[in-house]
Copies of this chain bind each other. A is one copy, B any other.
Amino acid sequence: MFCLTITVLLQITVEDYEQAARSLLKALFIREKYSKLAYHRFPWTTAKFLRNAANEMWTEEYEILPDICPCPGEGQDPYSMENIPDNLNYQMKMKDGIIYVYENTEALSMNKPRCLPYPDLETFAIDMISNQYHHKIQQFSLSNSRVFLTEISTMSERYNLEHISVYANVDTHIHAAACMNQKHLLDFIQTTYKTDAERVVLEKAGVKLTLKQVFNNLNMDPYDLTVDSLDVHAGRQTFHRFDKFNSKYNPVGASELREIYLKTDNYIEGEYFARLIKEVAHDLEESKYQHAEPRLSIYGRSPEEWESLSHWFIQHKVYSPNMRWIIQVPRIYDIFKSRKLIPNFAKMLENIFLPLFEATVNPQKHKELHVFLKYVTGFDSVDDESKHSDHMFSYKSPKPEQWTTDDNPPYSYYLFHMYANIMVLNNLRKERGLSTFQFRPHCGEAGSITHLVSAFLTADNISHGLNLKKSPVLQYLYYLAQVPIAMSPLSNNSLFLEYSKNPLREFLHKGLCVSLSTDDPMQFHYTKEALMEEYAIAAQLWKLSTCDVCEIARNSVLQSGLSHEEKKHFLGVNYLKDGPEGNDIRRTNVAQIRMAYRYETLCNELSFLVDAVKSEVVGSQ
């Protein structure tokens, strides 16, 4: 009956409506499947409706959660090498770009891998296509979204609380190499010059150079440096020019300075970079409720990168209770291949993932990496999404071992293979009682809409998501599955989309799970408190209410890789429950009426879909 009213309203036929509902539910079922396989989160409310649609029962126990290491308690050593699990001496081998685990050499020789779920490309490709099909129902969903938006804008008048105050929040998307602001970097460079001018800091073509010599060669006096001449800030010149933006990572345009100050693996063993990050961490610790999830790079150029990175982390004691680490993998196979550093794409994947399987199977052999991985909570896939790829990913695509061309694989190809390895790895780690990882790629910053389809299947949550504004269906799916989106409107404003056109406000008001993040304070921000600058500008420009701001802050904690214990502390003990029941207003400052509204709206949308499918079943009986 209800369904009929809607179809009349939208001027579509009942058949169209049922067909659309079926497709949307199918997409949700697929995401649920991929989420569970990888220990990614899937919202309980949506899961309940899916169980109902499948005529099954739902219980809390049915749900799975990621395993994230709690912070070391007071007095505990975060770098302790005690109580490391035993080695298992499993065997590992990559096949079709995915690492398989074998009980022993015999099993390996008989090609009998351990019983872990392994994804296969064919199914994924079919799932991808069946998801892309939703573009066809765009027209319907657009109308649907419109009704849905109007409804919300009326409702949202109700909780017109004013005044901002930010509660616990997490900078859900920030790159470590740009996590300090330009003034901070400038001061740091000048400080090191004061104390370390005669120190050898760089080896270039076999020649060792002191800091003084480096600056002499650059024809530069560090005391004359200003934030202007540092030249790391994005501006009018970088808009729609990702290439120009990338070069902003080089202070004064000099790659030497990037090498010395912003790298973990250099002549001074990343000492300066560690000190810079620890200064940023110190400020977060001071402010108590602010956290950040900086991205560190693993390139997949060589298998030693992980040992080097974890050694850097432990040697310089980079741990902070206010930071969780994400590993970013730049999509630059083409560069390594053209420089003949790797023979095929599989090798890159192996360099990235095999050391992790190794450290999981034999942690005693890889103590530093084992400890470091406690504080790594996820993976990011990064690069300019607007770069076009000629290859169309399908089950006919070459396997990673056969991907020997100089061309870069397309976005979806990267995503599937990263997801597949993370998924297997998570299952292995879960078996061993170790923490799991979340896949949190950059997605929808620019480029093709299909990126958002790939991530809908494979990602726990995404960064940017701007292009959802171009696809009402995908936007609706991201809403129904409550996929968290870390948005960075100031970054977008410098690179891809003017602030006033940023869809964050619209997404928030529709009920998508959006958080605010800085991306690159060094390039985009002016004040000392970059994340506060994001919140302040968003609040000013979009006239956000306190409730809006606190909802964004709450979303950021939900989205983050903070542990279950921390989330309980910051959001309330029942935070996993949906609706007002899951909200502790004293901790989040989000009004219960807002929580109730979000919950009811989501339930309404989901029940329309489930009812449509069920009535169809009844109708066809």
A residues engaging B (CB < 8 A)? 160-165, 182, 226-228, 230-231, 233, 235-237, 239, 490, 493, 499-500, 524-529, 532-533, 535-537, 539-541, 543, 545-546, 589
Q: A235: nearest residue on chain B (CB-CB)?
A: B162
What are 10 contact pairs spanning A and B, CB under 8 A? A162-B231, A235-B543, A490-B540, A499-B541, A500-B541, A526-B539, A527-B527, A528-B529, A537-B540, A541-B541
- Cβ contact within 8 Å between B526 and A233: no
Give Cα A345–Cα B272 distance, bound, in whole angstroms: 68
Most buried by B among A231, A526, A537, A539: A526
* List of B residues within 8 angstroms of A182 by Cβ: 163
Known: A541-B541, A543-B236. A529 touches B532 (CB 8 A): no
- Cβ contact within 8 Å between B529 and A227: no
Q: A228: nearest residue on chain B (CB-CB)?
A: B163
- Cβ contact within 8 Å between A228 and B161: yes
Known: A532-B527, A537-B540. A164 touches B227 (CB 8 A): yes
* List of B residues within 8 angstroms of A236 by Cβ: 160, 162, 543, 545
- Cβ contact within 8 Å between A540 and B499: yes
- Cβ contact within 8 Å between A237 and B536: no
Known: A160-B237, A228-B165. A540 touches B527 (CB 8 A): no
Q: A166: nearest residue on chain B (CB-CB)?
A: B526
- Cβ contact within 8 Å between A589 and B228: yes
* List of B residues within 8 angstroms of A227 by Cβ: 163-165
Within 8 Å by CB of A540, from B237, B526, B545, B589, lies: B526
* Minimal beta-carbon separation of A323 from chain B (angstroms): 22
* List of B residues within 8 angstroms of A525 by Cβ: 536
* List of B residues within 8 angstroms of A162 by Cβ: 231, 233, 235-237
Q: How many copies does the complex hold?
A: 2
* Minimal beta-carbon separation of A487 from chain B (angstroms): 15
* List of B residues within 8 angstroms of A532 by Cβ: 526-527
* Minimal beta-carbon separation of A592 from chain B (angstroms): 15
Known: A228-B546, A499-B541. A235 touches B163 (CB 8 A): yes
Q: A182: nearest residue on chain B (CB-CB)?
A: B163
* List of B residues within 8 angstroms of A500 by Cβ: 500, 541
* Minimal beta-carbon separation of A362 from chain B (angstroms): 49
* Minimal beta-carbon separation of A503 from chain B (angstroms): 16
Give Cα A540–Cα B161 distance, bound, in whole angstroms: 27
Give Cα A96–Cα B292 distance, bound, in whole angstroms: 66
Give Cα A525–Cα B540 distance, bound, in whole angstroms: 8
Give Cα A230–Cα B163 distance, bound, in whole angstroms: 9
Closest A-B pairs by Cβ, 7 of them: A526-B536, A162-B235, A163-B233, A165-B227, A236-B543, A163-B228, A500-B500
Most buried by B among A165, A226, A589: A165
* List of B residues within 8 angstroms of A228 by Cβ: 161, 163, 165, 546, 589
Give Cα A228–Cα B165 distance, bound, in whole angstroms: 7
* List of B residues within 8 angstroms of A546 by Cβ: 228
* Minimal beta-carbon separation of A546 from chain B (angstroms): 6
Give Cα A545–Cα B536 distance, bound, in whole angstroms: 21
* Minimal beta-carbon separation of A69 from chain B (angstroms): 33
* Minimal beta-carbon separation of A166 from chain B (angstroms): 9
Give Cα A43–Cα B446 distance, bound, in whole angstroms: 49
- Cβ contact within 8 Å between B164 and A526: yes
* Minimal beta-carbon separation of A603 from chain B (angstroms): 28
- Cβ contact within 8 Å between B493 and A540: yes
* List of B residues within 8 angstroms of A493 by Cβ: 540-541, 543
Give Cα A502–Cα B493 distance, bound, in whole angstroms: 18
* Minimal beta-carbon separation of A523 from chain B (angstroms): 10
Instruction: Known A-B contacts: A164-B526, A165-B228, A525-B536. Give 16 more (CB < 8 A).
Output: A160-B237, A162-B236, A163-B228, A163-B231, A163-B235, A235-B543, A493-B541, A493-B543, A499-B540, A499-B541, A500-B500, A500-B541, A527-B527, A527-B529, A527-B536, A528-B529
Known: A536-B527, A536-B533. A545 touches B161 (CB 8 A): no
* List of B residues within 8 angstroms of A527 by Cβ: 527, 529, 532-533, 536
Give Cα A529–Cα B533 distance, bound, in whole angstroms: 11
* List of B residues within 8 angstroms of A163 by Cβ: 182, 227-228, 230-231, 233, 235
Give Cα A457–Cα B540 distance, bound, in whole angstroms: 35
Q: A226: nearest residue on chain B (CB-CB)?
A: B165
* List of B residues within 8 angstroms of A226 by Cβ: 165
Give Cα A619–Cα B539 distance, bound, in whole angstroms: 60
* Minimal beta-carbon separation of A516 from chain B (angstroms): 13
Give Cα A546–Cα B160 distance, bound, in whole angstroms: 38
- Cβ contact within 8 Å between B499 and A545: no
Give Cα A161–Cα B226 distance, bound, in whole angstroms: 14
Give Cα A539–Cα B500 distance, bound, in whole angstroms: 14
Give Cα A523–Cα B493 distance, bound, in whole angstroms: 26
Most buried by B among A231, A527, A545: A527
Give Cα A526–Cα B235 distance, bound, in whole angstroms: 24
* Minimal beta-carbon separation of A330 from chain B (angstroms): 25
* Minimal beta-carbon separation of A224 from chain B (angstroms): 11
Give Cα A231–Cα B536 distance, bound, in whole angstroms: 17
* List of B residues within 8 angstroms of A533 by Cβ: 527, 533, 536
